[in-house]
Structure 1
Amino acid sequence: MARVVRFHRTGGPEVMQFDDLPVGDPQPGEMRVRIEAIGLNRAEAMFRPGAYLETPRLPARLGYEASATVEALGEGVEGFAPGDAVSVIPAFSMNAYGVYADTAIVPAYGVVQRPTGISAIESAAVWMAYLTAWGALIDIGHLGRGDAVIIPAASSSVGLAAIQIANSVGAIPIATTRTRAKAAALDEAGAAHVVVTSEQDLVAEVNHATGGKGARLVFDPVGGPQVEALAQAIRHHGVILIYGALATALTPFPVIAAMQKALTLRGYTLFEFIRDPERLARAAAFIDDGLASGGLMPIIAKTFPLDAIVQAHVYMESNEQFGKIVVTVPH
Structure 2
Amino acid sequence: MPQPDEAVRPDAAAAPPSSMRAWRVTRLGEPAEALSLDTVPVPVPAAGEVLVKVAAVAANFPDVLLCRGEYQVKPELPFSPGIEFVGTVAALGDGASSVAIGERVVGSKIGMLSEYAVLPASDVWAAPSSLSDAEAAGLTVAYQTAWFGLHRRAALQRGEWLLVHAAAGGVGIAAVQLGVAAGARVIGVVGSEAKAAAAREAGAEIVLVRGVDDLVAAVKSATGGHGADVVFDPVGGAAFDASTKCIAFEGRIVVVGFAGGTIPTVPAGHVLVKNYSVVGLHWGLYPRVRPDLIDEARAALTRSADEGRIRPVVDHVVPFAEAPRALTALASGTTVGRVVISVSS
TM-score, normalization: structure 1? 0.94
| Contact 2:236/2:260, CA 8 A, preserved across alignment | yes
Paired with 2:103 and 2:261, the residues of 1 have a C-alpha distance of 42
Deviations 1:95-119 (A, max 9, x none): xxx1100111111121101112222
Q: Could you tell me which of 163, 174, 188 is aligned with 2:187?
A: 174
Task: Mark the CA change 1:294 to 1:250 in structure 2 (over 3 Å): closer, same or farther.
Answer: closer
1:87 aligns with 2:106: yes
2:35 is aligned to: 16
Superposition pairs of residues 274-313 of structure 1, within 5 angstroms: 274-275=287-288, 276-313=290-327
Match of 1:72 among 70, 78, 91: 91
Correspondent of 1:30 among 49, 61, 65? 49
Query: How far, CA to CA, are the matches of 1:114 and 1:187 in structure 2?
Result: 26
C-alpha distance in 2 between matches for 1:142 and 1:249: 26
Q: Pairwise mapping of residues 216-231 of structure 1 onto structure 2 (< 5 A)?
A: 216-231=229-244
Distance in structure 2 (CA, Å) of the matches to 1:43 and 1:274: 17
CA contact (8 A) 1:225 1:250 kept: no
* C-alpha contact (below 8 Å) 1:48/1:56 kept by paired residues: no
**TM alignment of 1:194-213, pairs within 5 A:** 194-213=207-226
- 1:229 is displaced (CA, Å) by 1.3
- The letter for the 2-side match of 1:166 is G
Contact 1:87/1:124 (<8 A) preserved: yes
Q: Tell me if 1:130 matches 2:149.
A: no
Give secondary structure in 2 for the equivalent of 1:145. coil
1:162 partner letter? A
Corresponding position: 1:324 with 2:330? no
Q: Is the 8 A contact 1:225 1:252 kept in 2?
A: no
Q: Is the 8 A contact 2:165 2:239 kept in 1?
A: no
Select between 245-254 and 208-217 the one with higher mean Cα deviation.
Answer: 245-254
Aligned-residue sequence identity (percent) comes to 33
Deviations 1:116-174 (A, max 9, x none): 22222211021111101000001221112111111111111111111111111110111
Unaligned stretches of 5+ residues in structure 2: 1-18
Provide the aligned length of Structure 1 versus Structure 2.
325
Bigger mean CA offset, 270-279 vs 147-156: 270-279
Equivalent residues of 1:2, 1:104 under 8 A apart: no
2:174 is aligned with 1:161? yes
Q: Which residue among 42, 45, 61 is the counterpart of 2:64?
A: 45
Q: Which runs of 5+ in 1 are unaligned?
A: none
RMSD (Å) for aligned C-alpha atoms: 1.4
C-alpha deviation, 1:320, in angstroms: 1.4
Q: In the alignment, is residue 102 of structure 1 matched against residue 115 of structure 2?
A: yes
Q: Give 3-state SS (helix, strand or coil) of 1:77's partner.
A: coil
C-alpha separation in 2, matches of 1:220 and 1:232: 14
